[in-house]
């Protein structure tokens, strides 16, 4: 079994990323960042992850490497971790460009590692071909969809990552279920008592006991999109990702905004709605993204568009409850998009 990390590189080979401005960083190629897992905060987190696997009797310890996103390639038995998590300066840039750092905290990172381990198990033991697996989780041939129709109150799926991610695809359903099973000190039998999802968890429990001592059927070590080989500049990398998370917003809802805020003629001395939204942006953004599961970048674009429309209409704050009402409105739009693929019925 290969080690999870490699030898620490010589400091002289690494650029002083901390001293660079955002513009200077964005001009660099990913391969020239010279970031490594060894010596970063990821090193201890991966070691903890491997200890957790051992405590659960899982002998397969996937190798982790730096890539361009969280990923377990088809047929591979290793886990790619986004390169920006290997350096605090890159994490700050990621937060500026994407509004959040996926896996940036220890708890979030561990949840993602446990999830990706589900994909490793699927690939290593060819589970998607198993008839019982398909009966419980569904056909793996289903297409992935970023705007799947989520059922927030369904008890057929576990809840691990935000956004009801287990509902997006059968393989994600298994990965989320295994992640729950792996989580230390979680009494999943009690938490999911009475849920249809408990049947899936019990299957995973039996499966993992059965796999003890069995050699993986697939042990491909290929490193897809390994950071040390990526020649894209950071500005191109972020342009691509920001486009991916951007949504085509409909014509903005003047009638809704006029219900939320007052016309300038009726409240000339009140605070401008656009100024209020800019002032309230950060806490509102965090709350709506957390409860809807939509990426912060997407919610931020929606909020910015609403702010611009409020400025154009010269709307004013009507009451002290404006923040609560706007947050509820944004959450409604985002939740509707998550369940239907549209922000609002036309």
Enumerate the domain spans of the chain: 11-229, 246-340
What's the rounded Cα separation, in Å, for the pair 190 and 114?
Answer: 20
What's the rounded Cα separation, in Å, for the pair 303 and 80?
Answer: 32
What's the rounded Cα separation, in Å, for the pair 283 and 281?
Answer: 6
Tokens encoding 326: 């706007």
pLDDT tens per residue across all 346 residues of the chain: 444 444 444 545 789 999 999 999 999 999 999 999 999 999 999 999 999 999 999 989 999 999 999 999 887 889 999 999 999 999 999 999 998 899 999 999 999 999 999 999 999 999 999 999 999 999 988 876 655 667 778 999 999 998 788 998 999 999 999 999 999 999 999 999 999 999 999 999 999 999 998 888 877 777 888 999 999 999 999 999 988 776 655 566 788 899 899 998 888 889 999 999 999 988 898 888 888 878 888 888 888 888 888 988 899 998 888 888 998 988 888 777 766 666 665 4
């Amino acid at each position: 079994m290969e080690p999870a990390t490699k030898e620490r590189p010589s400091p002289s080979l690494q650029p002083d990323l901390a001293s660079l401005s955002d513009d200077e960083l964005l001009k660099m190629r990913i391969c020239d960042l010279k970031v490594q897992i060894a010596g970063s905060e990821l090193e201890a987190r991966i070691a903890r992850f491997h200890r957790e696997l051992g405590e659960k009797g899982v002998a397969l310890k996937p190798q982790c490497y730096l890539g361009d996103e969280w990923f377990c390639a088809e047929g591979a038995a290793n886990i790619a971790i986004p390169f920006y998590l290997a350096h605090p300066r890159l994490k700050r840039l990621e937060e500026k460009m994407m509004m959040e750092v996926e896996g940036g905290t220890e708890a979030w990172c561990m949840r993602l590692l446990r999830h990706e381990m589900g994909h490793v198990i699927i690939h290593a033991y060819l589970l998607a071909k198993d008839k019982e697996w398909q009966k419980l989780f569904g056909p793996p041939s289903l297409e992935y969809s970023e705007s799947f129709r989520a059922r927030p109150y369904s008890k057929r799926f576990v809840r691990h990552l935000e956004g009801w991610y287990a509902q997006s695809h059968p393989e994600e359903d298994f990965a989320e279920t295994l992640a729950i099973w792996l989580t230390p000190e979680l009494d999943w039998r009690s938490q999911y008592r009475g849920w249809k999802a408990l049947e899936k968890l019990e299957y995973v429990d039996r499966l993992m006991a059965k796999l003890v001592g069995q050699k993986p059927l697939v042990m491909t070590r290929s490193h897809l999109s390994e950071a040390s080989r990526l020649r894209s500049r950071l500005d191109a990398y972020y342009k691509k990702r920001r486009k991916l998370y951007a949504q085509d917003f409909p014509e903005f809802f003047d009638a809704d905004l006029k219900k939320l805020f007052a016309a300038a003629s009726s409240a000339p001395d009140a605070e401008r709605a656009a100024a209020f939204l800019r002032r309230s942006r950060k806490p509102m953004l965090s709350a709506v993204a957390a409860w809807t599961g939509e990426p912060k970048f997407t919610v931020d674009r929606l909020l910015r568009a609403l702010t611009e429309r409020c400025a154009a209409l010269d709307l004013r704050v009507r009451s002290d409850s404006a923040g609560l009402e706007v947050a509820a409105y944004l959450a409604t739009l985002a939740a509707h998009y998550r369940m239907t693929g549209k922000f609002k019925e036309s």
